[in-house]
Chains A and B, each alone.
Chain A
């Protein structure tokens, strides 16, 4: 019959699924956010607006912006996933 170790081997644990989904979806959202944000704002100009003397190159600005978005979206995704998974069950079969 079907190779048992072949089929059963393919499930990811729920924790692994959650971590992967949180990282990946927040990455996508952060990418979109970064794109829209930096299409409107120039990181070099932003840095000067924050502090006259602050001079960063654009690559660093893009990276900082991207990671800012990613941390934000990942935190949001993670808390959402955690709340959904740990919500009290409605029926009496509570563990």
Chain B
């Protein structure tokens, strides 16, 4: 990929320049409105969701200090890590699926990098004006006006970044407590650190680095083309219709002058946040923001040409062939997604809200008691994952006459609590010799579908 980039670069462009500032040109149009809508919805969700309440508790809270995840009515434990892993796999396959169908829709409309950059650009335009006004302002000497505009931009940027950092942390520690701690100026050191860390990352990424992140740092941008085929939706310039490009008087007949529909106004290049020329074909820098479509459509409208010289299309459509939605790639991704998603749902619905951990006492193999009784020691951890207190009957099996000594059944465990239970297990040496497999069972007394069996080993002297 990088090889192609080298050859595409105009030979006059220097290889080593410090990154000068980018002045994206603002553009109105269908896709600009769509991206504005996506930004408002996604950012709105991000900032509002931690404040939602479910059953007197934060609805979405990944409580790291307590090592519990609350998702609406569901409480997940570290032992439920499988779900998180599954969820990440589902997210990855969904990304592949939507890439195969819609190209880089994610990049252009849903990626956090895009979304926050958009928000920061709004602030920039609000305080410093349009592209040409911003360029003029930067060249101008310092004045009260410049200070006021630059200062208010920084103030708004920093406020938004800090609010973002605060919200981010609010997904991991209860946000209502956090806000009262902030008001009382009594925030824990690490909480403060991560809030500022995320705020700084937001400020730097959305304020300054912007699409450089997509060009130089994003792995997805480099490998997404592997998921493309000739039926994938891409932003493309209709070369057959546009070429040969050239300027002309308004109202002149392009065919008579031997010209295509492209008037070479370069507006599509000027609006491009990654600085590519879409007329050179599909390039990996293109994040599918569709700004060039809006730009070109506006020009086509002015020229009274039909819209869509630059448009969302597929390679097949450009070649005049039909585009297929159903193809092996999309069908396989869809099947995989369905299977994984149903497996996860099934396993979540049938999940037993009880975990039994058995830890053998490592210090002694076994003890020999009078009358040929062999004793092994274990620590049982009974974890009640439901939100209500429950009683459990704990038992052991696997050897004739084996039993637990030293506990009084049933044991009660608080809702969301862990009970650590040291137990002695005894069996007669006539039945136990060498290494034997045994099973511990915990059963809820009020609901015998809540039952967990855990394997362990019982050691006895070899006869």
B219 lies within 8 A of A25 (CB): yes
| A-contact 0/1 string along B207-231, CB 8 Å cutoff | 0010011011101000000000000
B15 lies within 8 A of A11 (CB): yes
Q: Which of B241-276 contact A (CB under 8 A)?
A: 266, 269-270, 274-275
Which of A6, A8, A42 is in CB contact (< 8 Å) with B17?
A8
Q: In the complex, what distance in Å separates the CA atom of A16 from the CA atom of B209?
A: 11
Q: In the complex, what distance in Å separates the CA atom of A60 from the CA atom of B20?
A: 39
B65 lies within 8 A of A9 (CB): no
Check A95 for interface membership: any CB of B closer than 8 A: no
| A-contact 0/1 string along B167-197, CB 8 Å cutoff | 0000000000000000000001111011000
Task: Write out the residue numbers on chain A whose beta carbons fall within 8 Å of the beta carbon of B190.
Answer: 59-60, 62-63
Which of A2, A5, A42 is in CB contact (< 8 Å) with B20?
A5
Q: Nearest Cβ distance between residue A92 and chain B, in whole angstroms?
A: 20
A8 lies within 8 A of B14 (CB): yes
Assuming A10-B275, A13-B17, is B191 touching A59 (CB within 8 A)? yes
Q: In the complex, what distance in Å separates the CA atom of A81 from the CA atom of B244?
A: 43
Q: In the complex, what distance in Å separates the CA atom of A36 from the CA atom of B78?
A: 10
Assuming A12-B216, A60-B190, is B13 touching A6 (CB within 8 A)? no
Q: In the complex, what distance in Å separates the CA atom of A25 from the CA atom of B22?
A: 24
Which of B18, B81, B213 is in CB contact (< 8 Å) with A13?
B18
Q: Which of A34-60 contact B (CB under 8 A)?
A: 35-36, 38-40, 42, 57-60
Check A17 for interface membership: any CB of B closer than 8 A: yes
Give the total number of A-B pairs whose CB atoms are below 8 A apart: 86
A24 lies within 8 A of B65 (CB): no
B219 lies within 8 A of A11 (CB): no
Q: In the complex, what distance in Å separates the CA atom of A12 from the CA atom of B270?
A: 19
A11 lies within 8 A of B14 (CB): yes
Check B302 for interface membership: any CB of A closer than 8 A: no
Check A93 for interface membership: any CB of B closer than 8 A: no
Task: Write out the residue numbers on chain B whose beta carbons fall within 8 Å of the beta carbon of A5.
Answer: 20
Check A20 for interface membership: any CB of B closer than 8 A: yes
Q: Interface of chain A, helix or strand or loop or mixed? A: helix
Q: Nearest Cβ distance between residue A46 and chain B, in whole angstroms?
A: 12
Check B305 for interface membership: any CB of A closer than 8 A: no
A9 lies within 8 A of B14 (CB): no
Q: Which residue of A lies closest to B13 (CB)?
A: A8
| B-contact 0/1 string along A1-33, CB 8 Å cutoff | 111011111111110110011001100000000
Q: In the complex, what distance in Å separates the CA atom of A5 from the CA atom of B139?
A: 13
Which of A6, A25, A36, A57 is in CB contact (< 8 Å) with B65?
A57
Assuming A57-B65, A59-B190, is B19 touching A10 (CB within 8 A)? yes
Task: Write out the residue numbers on chain B whose beta carbons fall within 8 Å of the beta carbon of A58.
Answer: 64-65, 67
B217 lies within 8 A of A14 (CB): no
Task: Write out the residue numbers on chain A whose beta carbons fall within 8 Å of the beta carbon of B194.
Answer: 63
Task: Write out the residue numbers on chain B whose beta carbons fall within 8 Å of the beta carbon of A10.
Answer: 19-20, 22, 212, 274-275
Q: Which residue of B lies closest to A7 (CB)?
A: B275
Q: Nearest Cβ distance between residue A17 and chain B, in whole angstroms?
A: 5
Q: Which residue of A lies closest to B14 (CB)?
A: A8
Check B84 for interface membership: any CB of A closer than 8 A: yes
Check B46 for interface membership: any CB of A closer than 8 A: no
A21 lies within 8 A of B19 (CB): no
Q: Nearest Cβ distance between residue B7 and chain A, in whole angstroms?
A: 15
Sample of 7 more A-B contacts, CB < 8 Å, known A5-B20, A11-B15, A63-B190: A6-B270, A7-B10, A8-B17, A40-B78, A59-B64, A62-B64, A62-B190
Q: 6 closest A-B pairs (Cβ-Cβ)?
A: A9-B20, A59-B190, A39-B81, A10-B275, A24-B217, A17-B216
Can you give 6 A-B contacts (C-beta < 8 A)? A12-B212, A20-B216, A24-B213, A59-B189, A59-B190, A63-B193
